[in-house]
Amino acid sequence: MVGWFAGFTRDVALHADELSALDGAIGDADHGTNLNRGCREALRTLHAEPPRTVGDFGRTVGMQLLAHVGGASGVLYGSFFLDFGASAPGAQGLTPRGFAAAWHAGVAAVVARGRAEVGDKTMLDVLAPVRDALDTAAWHTVDLGGMLKAALDAAEQGLEATVPLVARKGRASYIGPRSAGHQDPGARSSWLLVRAATTTLAG
């Protein structure tokens, strides 16, 4: 899982300008900058204090993102990882079905904190379809690679689906119909999170 987060951190750094440009079209143009800062701090802490359990991992990442990303993104990503870890606090690893359950818990935290629904043009438009894909796949296979491939397909569909939507939550909702035609930056960074899982955890 540390490798997964390291991959995500690397991708956020590579795409930070792109994420901020997407945010600039419908928000305040700092999503990439803020998320990059928070991820780097979280990864630094993971390396300095290697987690022994899933709970340690989620708590370390979540608290660092809450402290260093700021704004709604910090709260939502931080909450995702805190509850991801809390789903199996004493476990030293996750089975494929355990990963699906942890993702489910993380998404529930995002829903509770953000009070958004699928279709509101937010990160949930990627995270929720991934949750559903993992839940479905977990009933049919214990192959994490296959589960994550299904999850990435769902993430890509969810990401593209945000483009024509009118934002109903977050700063983008302030500009109303003018938000249509733009990809949501939070959905884009969430897609990076799923892609990093696919490339680092699938084995």
Give per-residue pLDDT as tens, 118-143.
878 899 999 999 999 999 998 887 78
**Would you state the structure tokens that stand for residue 187, as one six-digit string?**
């959905």
Q: Report the alpha-carbon distance of residue 119 to residue 112 in Å, rounded.
A: 16
Q: Note the pLDDT of residue 171.
A: 54
Structure pTM?
Answer: 0.93
pLDDT number for residue 23 = 72
pLDDT at 113 over 90: yes
In angstroms, rounded to a whole number, what is the distance separating the alpha carbons of residues 44 and 71? 21
Cα→Cα distances 174→26, 55, 179, Å: 9, 37, 9
Token couple for 132 = 């559903």
DSSP one-letter code for 121: S
> CA-to-CA distance for 191 and 108, rounded, in angstroms?
17
The architecture of the domain spanning 2-201 is Alpha Horseshoe (1.25)
pLDDT at position 177 is 56
